Structure 1
Amino acid sequence: MLRRSGGRPAGFDENSTDATGYCSPLSGWPVSISNSSSLMYGVPNLEAWNIVVFQGLHASSGATRLAIYLGVVLAELPVYLAAALALWALVARRDVRMACAIAIACLLGHYVEVLCNQFAYHDRPFAAGYGSALIKHSANNSMPSSHVTFVWTLAALYGMKKHWRLAAVFGCLGLVLAWARIFTGLHWPLDMAGSAATALASSFLAISLVRAGWHMARRARGVQEVGGQARAVNPPSRERRR
């Protein structure tokens, strides 16, 4: 369990916090990590790295109003932009296979979150006493970030299908979102590493499942792909057609 040696800041609300109750993170309070069983993966060095990187990315007491405003907006906006872009791409390309892959990958990503909640629970920064969050949020499990996982899943799926431009756009949106979620105090840097791993694994499995299912369906209908084109298996002879 992450704890500050100086305890939690005055006025800290474990259930929800907001910008008006903002407290500067790590301002003069030395970091201490207890040896409790809730220590993430039981690796103190991993937690130390997590805290140090969080210190550098989280909003400080000297953050400007513009920076705080951008952080709050960008902690949500990229998700909607990514969803809108994915929907446009699916409709424009009439890509049913990609739609299936996205649905399966998102479902697999959700299962990973459930497993992490059960077996790799980790307090969010504000719940661990590292300052207030700039956005109201419940003090639930932080690993991984569902927002970032979704956007990077889109990036991974389109990258694996070699749609490089869309993959790059989704990847950049995910990076901006990851920074904003850390800046506003909702997530740890390590949560983003978990999101990246979840996105890659779920995307690979989703594409594999869709490809296998598609081939099975085509074979059942007597159709197979040759050189990217659909051709009938054992086409009827001329005598049969007569």
Structure 2
Amino acid sequence: MNTLEAFNQALFLTINATTSTPRWQIDVASFIADYVIYFVPMVLVALWLSGLRNHRATALRACCVALLALGFNQIIGHVWMHPRPFMIGLGHTFIEHAPDSSFPSDHGTVFASVALTLLLARMRWYGELTLVAGLTVAWARVFVGVHYPLDMAGAVAIACVAYGVITPLWSLTGNAVTDSLIALYRKVLAWPIARGWLVQ
């Protein structure tokens, strides 16, 4: 464990920005670290608004995988507190973050969960875009000093576990969940749907 942690910290210091890093690089990385996460709901909304049932089902499934994975993260964080780099005075930090457990990364978990679900559903274009965005965010959050590289690797592992748990459950209940939420969507948003502002 000590060897793995030493490797994790050494790799972090290799990626982490320093006081001599150009300011524009830090600003770009800070923006990516904080705001590119909003790409995920945009992708899921785009899938839903396509009007295609299989797209909507996949978006819902991706949400379930991500939510379960985030739940796993909460449990891990309570059982095993792994301090963030700035909590032990390691490297440099360029964005504010709560001093909570670093492992695994919630941002990385969301991207990994959604990208994995989309790719395995053969929605390659959406999945690959999400994967690229996720890799960029993973790099940025290490670069600005709030995560270690292995926090991101852990996020991928947790996403895979969550996907494995959701898959058999979705086979049993996915159709019913999808139909129910489509019906609710059509009822709640009947007015804009009737005027052609939203797809049915």
Coarse TM-score class (shorter-chain normalised): 0.7 to 0.9
Alignment pair present for 1:211 and 2:183: no
Q: Distance in 1 between matches of 2:8 and 2:174?
A: 42
RMSD (Å), alpha carbons:
1.8
Alignment pair present for 1:101 and 2:58: no
Alignment gaps of 5+ in structure 1: 1-42, 218-242
Tell me the number of residue pairs that the alignment of Structure 1 and Structure 2 aligns.
175
Corresponding residue of 2:2: 44
Query: 1:211: Cα distance to partner?
Result: 1.5
Give the TM-score of the pair, scaled to structure 1. Answer: 0.68
Deviations 1:154-211 (A, max 9, x none): 1000111111121111111010000000001000111001111111221232233112
CA contact (8 A) 1:101 1:203 kept: no
Query: Residues 51-66 of structure 1: matches in 2 within 5 Å?
Result: 51-66=9-24
Corresponding residue of 2:79: 119
Going by fraction, where is helix more abundant, 1 or 2? 2
Corresponding residue of 2:147: 187
- Matched residue type, 1:115: I
Q: Distance in 2 between matches of 1:177 and 1:202?
A: 21
Alignment pair present for 1:150 and 2:110: yes
Query: 1:133: Cα distance to partner?
Result: 1.7
Q: Distance in 2 between matches of 1:99 and 1:84?
A: 11
- Matched residue type, 2:163: S
Deviations 1:88-145 (A, max 9, x none): 0222134342233123212211221122112222000000111442111111000111
Give the TM-score of the pair, scaled to structure 2. Answer: 0.81
Corresponding residue of 1:91: 49
Alignment gaps of 5+ in structure 2: 177-200
Corresponding residue of 1:81: 39
Alignment pair present for 1:202 and 2:162: yes
CA contact (8 A) 1:102 1:206 kept: no
Corresponding residue of 2:132: 172
For the structure 1 residues 138 and 211, does the alpha-carbon distance in structure 2 shift closer, same or farther, using more than 3 Å as the test? same
Aligned to 1:135, which of 74, 88, 95? 95
Higher relative contact order, chain-length normalized (CA < 8 Å, sep 6+): 2
Q: Distance in 1 between matches of 2:124 and 2:164?
A: 16
Greater Cα offset, 118-127 or 184-193: 118-127
- Matched residue type, 1:130: L
